[in-house]
A and B are shown apart, each in its own frame.
Chain A
Amino acid sequence: MTTTTEPYSRPTTSEGITAFFRSQKAIPYLLLLPAILVILSVVLVPLLLSFWTSFTNYNLTKPDTLYNFIGLRNYQRLMGNAEFWWAFGRTFLFITIALNLEMLLGLGLALLVNKITWGQRTLRTIMMFPMMFSPILVGFQFKYIFNDSIGLVNNALFDLGLISQPIPWLVDGTLANFSIIFAEIWMSTSIFAILLLAGLMALPREPIEAAKVDGCNSWQVFRHITLPFLMPFVYIAMTIRSLDVARAYDMVRIMTNGGPAGRTELLWTLMTRTGYQNSQMGMANAMGYVSIILSIVFTFYFYRKLTAARTFMGGAQ
């Protein structure tokens, strides 16, 4: 050490960092550090990798192609690929129809159950039944029930004398789409019903009573008091659902795996087929990005609605 003209020594960067991690301010970051590390390594790094591969013509069978940068060609080819657009459109439609029907049916069920005065706990427990089923189980269950020769549905229709020929629930393109939507709705309506029922139970009495005193009939009470109050709950349910809407993949995978002849192909099944069966990882990852963006858009949309509804509710909650 030589003498220095500086009267004090400036803390070096590393000293500054050590000091920071010993200070109170570091506590929340330290608490979050493990979570951040896990998410970085298991989500962010793979996403970066798949982002890179979506710009290459990476083929699983030829490892060297990982470094074959081809720019936007994968995306360009997707844009011109009818199969992709069909899958994309079908997926979009699937999400839209499923979420809306689930919401409406869930709301209806919640309102009905809310009217029942006796045994509500039991009903709520029964309502949770489908929530315990993993998507793969739901898929298996409906594959079995919609089976054309031994399925519950056809058996019942036969024995009631309604049909003489088996209905090909999973073999006909249109019916297969119907069956899948049915399974999806069976699986997820409960989430809406239960959350909305929780909302109905938390509904304050006073505004409803005030509205009745002000001369509203029951429809008007529902329209102007109950529904606005329930909206945040609707959006929570929508947000939760759009977070994991892609788990419908598991269900479709076991029920039809995109068949017959690609008529139930969703973005997610097309993606795995392209990636593993055809080994076109670059292309599959490009589709993956499209599906990620789709999920984020849906989630973000409902999350925004939720925040807005929450502000709108103000102090009411």
Chain B
Amino acid sequence: MSAMTIEKPWQRWAIRIGVFLAMLVLTVPGLWVMLTAFRPNIEVLARPAIWIPQNWTLDNFARLFGLSASQQGLPVAQYFINSLVISLTSTLVAIVIGMAGGYAFARFSFRGKGPMFLAFMLSRTVPGVALSLPLFMLWARLGIIDTSFGLILVYMAINIPFTIWLTDGFFRQIPIDLSEAAQIDGCTRWQAFWKIEFPLARSGLASAAIFAFLTSWNEYALASQLTRTTASKTMPVGLMDFTAQFTVDWTGMSAMAVLIIIPALVLTFIVQKHLIAGLTFGGVK
């Protein structure tokens, strides 16, 4: 439903201006950071402020990857690779495990179903910071602190509950008749799943995967405690390190921010439709 009431012209304009201002507030801060990433440091520090960029440059990015002679940057390339490996692996495993769980909740009735679902969701409630303390102690004992494996394991655990929640919803949307019809048509339950239910849930699963990826990609609290060196540090940890350095390099940090946001930007645009449907569906129905 849209605009069923009849508005007076001034009301229509008030609405438009309100929306415009809101959109401005939502976009300008992010765009300003992105803009900064392509400007030289002098321009950013200039007083009075230079609003319109005079010089566009990619130097900030070059510096990050150590390509420019002017300043030795952080090992951002390594951080980027770490982030990518950790996020992709943990997503893949979380989706497989979460999908199995979501399917169990959507298709079977069994003893302890309700409490178990609640327990999964509650496990997600634990703040990352609070979990990081004991995980730090435990991972140190097990010798998997500052390893990609250690972080992958943690990200799997934080992504599984949400994946279960989403996939449960997606599988519920698929009528159970279809699986039954396939079984009468000669499929085993396993075949019915792979030939009928899985293809139908595929787009939903893809968006669950992107969710999981973004959660891992953006996570800071746990990564900051469980990583120590370039062996496993991720982009958000790197950005934090960058801000804590003595020389304040706003353009360099902005360039790093852009590197973090771009994958997120692309992926979110891909799933935006499913994202909303998935969130509301799981909750309301």
Contact = CB atoms under 8 A, between A and B. Distances in A.
Chains A and B belong together in one complex? yes
B92 interface: no
Interface string B104-132: 11011010010010011111111111111
Interface stretch (A2-10, A40-48, A71-79): A40-48
A12 interface: no
Contacts of B116: 32
Interface string A180-196: 00000010011000110
B45 A150 contact: yes
A135 B5 CA distance: 39
Contacts, number: 282
Interface stretch (B67-75, B155-163, B175-183): B155-163
Contacts of A27: 104, 108
B126 A43 contact: yes
B154 interface: yes
B161 A136 contact: no
B97 interface: yes
A96 interface: no
A80 B270 CA distance: 51
A233 B268 contact: no
Interface in B252-285: 253-254, 257, 260-261, 264-265, 268-269, 272, 275-277, 279-280, 283-285
A131 interface: yes
Contacts of A249: 127-129, 221
B128 A247 contact: yes
Given A125-B272, A249-B127, A115 B29 contact: no
B236 A250 contact: yes
Interface in A129-157: 129-137, 140-145, 150, 152, 155
Interface string B28-48: 111011001000000011001
B2 interface: yes
A100 to B, nearest CB: 18
A281 B275 CA distance: 39
Contacts of A232: 283-284
A127 B22 CA distance: 9
Interface string A272-296: 1001100001001100110110011
Contacts of B100: 31-32, 34-35
A159 B26 contact: no
Contact of B157 (A43, A155, A281): A43
Interface stretch (A82-90, A170-178, A238-246): A238-246
Interface of A: 25, 27-29, 31-32, 34-35, 38-39, 41-47, 49-50, 53, 109, 112-117, 120, 123-137, 140-145, 150, 152, 155, 158-159, 186, 189-190, 194-195, 198-203, 205, 208, 218, 232-233, 235-236, 239-240, 243, 246-247, 249-250, 253-254, 268, 271-272, 275-276, 281, 284-285, 288-289, 291-292, 295-296, 299, 303, 306, 310, 317
19 contacts: A28-B104, A29-B110, A38-B97, A49-B138, A114-B2, A116-B2, A124-B272, A125-B269, A132-B268, A135-B218, A136-B240, A142-B29, A150-B49, A155-B49, A201-B1, A232-B284, A233-B280, A253-B240, A299-B121
